[in-house]
Amino acid sequence: MQRITRDEHATSAGLDALKAKIALILKHFPPSVASVYAIPRLGSGDVVEWWTELGGQPTRFHELDEDRQVALLERYHQRQETLGLLADELVTRGQSEQAASLRTLIGPPDLNNLYSINGDPVVVRWGLAPEPVVAPAPTPPPVPRPVVVRRVWRGWPWLLLGLLLLGLLLWALWHWRLPAMNLLPSQNNQVCRAKTPVGSELPPEFVVILDTSGSMNLNIDATKDDEDWYFKSRPQPEDDDPRTVKIFAAQTRLDVAKASLTGMINNLHPDIDTRLMTFAGCFRQPDHGVFNAAQRPQLIAGIQGLTANEGTPLASSLKKAARQVNGRDRDAVIVMFVDGDDGCNENVCKVAQNIAIEQPRLRVNVVNIGDSSLSNCIAENTGGSIYSSRNASDLANALKNATEAVSECD
């Protein structure tokens, strides 16, 4: 943990309420979502300090270049969207007071209090009354400048032609001195371009969709009959029924998924950034953001903190993931780790068909841990592969094969 700043003007009143809001976020999401809000503490001299669990150098928003400012604000708004959906969900559960507490965090950031830590947004002084703004002294009206009439130089077409010819000459000289390049994907590694010469292609965008629906709490060896029996009769895990005890015994599907995904992430090529998405009922598919190679320990820690509950929005999560990647003039790979079909009354096959038309360079691989084959159409329609495994020892290999295109990048 590191301190971002000390706040000489803030008071300690209300700090417990701010910490309670962070605790509420952590109850439902991994630390990557709550890390947007710096942790308030009382330091020496009873001065309020703002701390964060993130590692890296904090950089003020106004010290970033324009591209990094845009990326930081986009990630901030993704976290805000996640909180808004959680607030809606809490209202449906009758927890209106907690929902109202979360909604106080939703809104545009104060850019003077916004920091970037390895590309992740962190806000300090949130939840506190803003400091009074001193109005600047009025400035005298500008003195009008004389209008200067400039003649239009009509030789610009020849200048443009000369620059174009110069560019072609430089291009020819550059390629003459380089070895021949094969930009076509190989048969065994169709989308990997992280090591192509002189950076001629960007590495593929990569998204993992991890099923965190309630059925992921079942044992890795639970069958389709076990699932049907459980979800119809709804026995409690603490019951003495032998079948219930067996179904909920370790290792659960989620336990195996966490271990397998950890190994997969550690083996990814360092040029590949990873976006993680999960489920939180039929109406929310939390986007945990994009993690580069330096942030992989944070990604792994977030995965280890995930829990499983509620429905299986395969179609909605696939649509949302596809919107986060290019898939038209840049390759993209989505790996969906699922244990069944869509459980939210949507047609995931139709979604995959639309992706194949609109994003032809997006491939979706499906790792199916259950007995159902209804989700196989996702891979079939997008040119991806299907990996079926309900055996714990085979699951790691299935995930390795599903991400092979972005693991080595030779």
In tens, the pLDDT along 102-131 reads 888 888 888 989 999 988 899 988 876 544
Burial annotation 65-87 (CB, 10 A radius, 16+ → b, else e): eeeebeebbebbebbbebbbbbb
Let me know how long the chain is.
Answer: 410
Query: Could you give the CA distance from residue 263 to residue 252 in angstroms, rounded to a whole number?
Result: 17
CATH of domain 199-406: 3.40.50.410
Residue entry with tokens 């159902």 = 372
306-321: average pLDDT: 90
The domains of the chain are located at 2-123, 199-406
pLDDT (tens digit per residue) in 202-239:
888 999 999 998 888 888 888 878 877 877 776 665 56
Q: Which residues pair with 336 in a beta bridge?
A: 209, 366
Percent of the chain with pLDDT over 90: 20
pLDDT value at residue 189: 36
Helix (H, G, I), strand (E, B) or coil at 288: strand
- With bands split at pLDDT 50, 70 and 90, how would you rate the model's confidence at 372? low
Q: Any idea which of 19-28, 315-324, 338-347, 377-386 has the lowest mean pLDDT?
A: 19-28
Instruction: Give the C-alpha separation, 239 to 241, whole Å.
Output: 5
Residue 211, Cβ density class (10 Å: 0-12 exposed, 13-18 middle, ≥19 buried): buried
User: Mean pLDDT across the chain, nearest whole number?
Assistant: 76
Region of 107 on the Ramachandran plot (φ > 0 left; ψ -120 to 50 alpha; else beta): left
| Burial label, 269 (beta-carbon count in 10 A; 0-12, 13-18, 19+) | middle
In the structure encoding, which two tokens stand for residue 311, read together?
């429905």
pLDDT digits (tens, 9 = 90+) for 257-297: 888 788 888 888 888 899 999 998 888 889 999 999 999 99
> 181-193 pLDDT, tens per residue?
222 222 333 444 4
Sign of CA dihedral 160, 166, 170, 173: positive
